[in-house]
Amino acid sequence: MKRNIIITGGAGFIGSHVVRLFVNKYPEYNIINLDKLTYAGNLANLKDIEDKPNYKFVKMDICDFEGVLKLMQDNHVDGIIHLAAESHVDRSIKDPFTFAQTNVMGTLSMLQAAKLYWESLPEKWEGKRFYHISTDEVYGALELTHPEGVKPPFSTKASSDQHLAYGEKFFTEDLKYQPHSPYSAAKASSDHFVRAFHDTYGMPTIVTNCSNNYGPYQFPEKLIPLFINNIRHRKPLPVYGKGENVRDWLYVVDHARAIDTIFHQGKVAETYNIGGFNEWKNIDIIHVLINTVDRLLGRKEGEDMDLITYVTDRAGHDMRYAIDSTKLQRELGWEPSLQFEEGIELTVKWYLDNQEWMDNVTSGDYMKYYEDMYANR
């Protein structure tokens, strides 16, 4: 079956992995990567597929309603996978307006354009799908009731004592939203708009909420790539508070696989949580990164532990996130393919082997390249 799919934010971290998967796996699909190319968007993430015949890049702001509507009409779009968003909590604390504009109004722009176009067609909603990717942060925070951690009884991937659960409760799809940061508040609002378009107009929508992702091509403002780079160059590793905050981590390729599964097999109007039953305290992850980077660089394992520098905690810093993805595993058969030890080894090796990519991102040269390219068109 031929499909015409827009993937928003496809030049970003998670988006580029989703674009690559769909372009390579479904040569009969036409994949349109719609991205504004903000600081987090980098077309170098997709150099390996940029010349594929079923791939097209369009530089556009999702808030450009008229432009988005025309793009859908001109390309007969029948599917939207919506990842474009501002996503860094620290930035949202400093600039909440940008997060509300992009995450809320941008999502509304995409929804309304899809509604007007699809309702104009003879078949209307038939064969259409609007898939909205959200975050586990909309659920608020969980209590850290087991500070030392216990092995989750339902984990399919726990292979060592370091795969621990730090409390009895987990984020499930029926929890009420309790966002605590401007970022999560903006994402929560966008989720509500997506569900409202299904309930009000009958639009075939799906929402997923995913845990922290890690892997290649992540912008180095996020913990794992930032710390890998800092360890390599022996720069300080700033740790919020005592590093006791707990997050559930998922390898980005497994998230892309989940998006593929849910887009094709998920039920309309359903919500699916995506996670790895893979909780880690921040300080424990940092220890793993130091040991792994040191070993791969031929240093004495752990010799860079003195780079850890404790800093004032982030305002409103949630203590624990933990996703229960049992529904997704049970109903659609998805589960993570990698244990954390495997995923972090692949991730560290990728960043160490791709220092040119890292240098271009940290210097900002990647943005100038694409600004010049579009200026000369």
- Active site positions, annotated: 136-137, 183
Give helix 365-375 / helix 355-363 axis angle, nearest 10°: 70
> What is the sign of the dihedral through the CA atoms of 61, 105, 251 and 6?
negative
> Each residue of 340-376: b (16+ CB within 10 Å) or e?
beebbbebbebbbeeeebbebbbeeebbeebeeeeee
Q: What is the C-alpha separation between 40 and 217, in angstroms, rounded? A: 10
The CB density around residue 174, as the number of other CB atoms within 10 Å, is: 7
Q: What is the C-alpha separation between 16 and 50, in angstroms, rounded? A: 11
Query: Residue 192 is encoded by which pair of tokens?
Result: 């509500």
Helix, strand, coil shares of the chain as percentages rounded to 5? 45, 15, 40
